[in-house]
Structure 1
């Protein structure tokens, strides 16, 4: 009789131990996935802020860049005051979307750029809507940075990074 009780105790102990180990690994995997998602989101936020700051606070490289000479994209005449010609160079299709991603250093992410009037309508400059990028309707993760800028009056620059 003692051997049977011992066997039953052993079986119950093994089942409990196995369940605990499985629960531990499930929890560990879930926490690891959450941490990875958090790190990815944090990286996207950092990139979005860096790109937006470069666009509105620097004139780019060289400072008098155009479509052919641009090495770093920047629109600023002064901090938060944008040069309309540079914005047009950027929005105009002569700076290819993929090249603009490289120039802004956004890696494998996609972006959507837009400048709006304070009422939310898209700004038009020289007949072009100030929009560039790929629509993010199907995006899994989206990070948007909005900044007030001056471009023939107060406007809102929106930069959306997504994957």
Structure 2
């Protein structure tokens, strides 16, 4: 009786090796593309939030240097807050504004964001019935925004006239 012997030869097909290498390289390129695309989308979304905060700061600062609606508003008649009369800061309106609740001021300024408002001249805060108003208090008329917890922060500055001098209205808005 004859025995059959089987001989197994392991043959490596060069074409399949190339196919596996191509597949791995393609998978790596695809993965890198997915990672880059997701980062781009996340950055684009955060830029949208910053743009919204910036637009809100510009709008709020524009409202504040206007006369408001109606132009001779009181806390009972206010539709939109404005702190000037004839392009000059009106201390009566500033006092009325400071005496409103913070949430009411956000409503009349058409914002959902937190803010801090103060006036300064030569980098010193001008105390107009108060040092400032907003989401944080000003201790000893000093601004310290380092304690804020925010994702986006915008500073808007406008100039107005107070007691025949030009002063700067500073508005910080954050999310």
The number of aligned residues is: 155
Matches within 5 A, 1:89-104: 89-92=96-99, 95-104=100-109
Show the counterpart of 1:158: 170
The structure with the largest alpha-carbon Rg is 2
Contact 1:111 1:159 in 2 (8 A): yes
Alignment gaps of 5+ in structure 1: none
User: Root-mean-square deviation (CA), in Å?
Assistant: 1.8
Show the counterpart of 1:71: 79
Q: Tell me whether 1:110 sits opposite 2:114 in the alignment.
A: yes
In the alignment, the residues of structure 2 paired with residue 2 and residue 43 of structure 1 have an alpha-carbon distance, to the nearest angstrom, of: 64
Per-residue CA deviations over 1:32-78 (Å, capped at 9, x if unaligned) read 1121222222222222111111211x211122111222110011212
- Runs of at least 4 residues of structure 1 off by over 4 A? none
Show the counterpart of 1:8: 17
- Which has the larger helix fraction? 1
Alignment gaps of 5+ in structure 2: 1-9, 137-144
Contact 1:142 1:162 in 2 (8 A): yes
**TM-score where L is the length of structure 2:** 0.80
In the alignment, the residues of structure 1 paired with residue 122 and residue 27 of structure 2 have an alpha-carbon distance, to the nearest angstrom, of: 61
In the alignment, the residues of structure 2 paired with residue 104 and residue 129 of structure 1 have an alpha-carbon distance, to the nearest angstrom, of: 19
The one of 46, 51, 68 aligned to 1:60:
68
In the alignment, the residues of structure 1 paired with residue 34 and residue 105 of structure 2 have an alpha-carbon distance, to the nearest angstrom, of: 43
1:124–1:84 Cα change, 3 Å: same
**TM-score where L is the length of structure 1:** 0.86
- Deviation at 1:102? 1.4
- Deviation at 1:162? 0.5
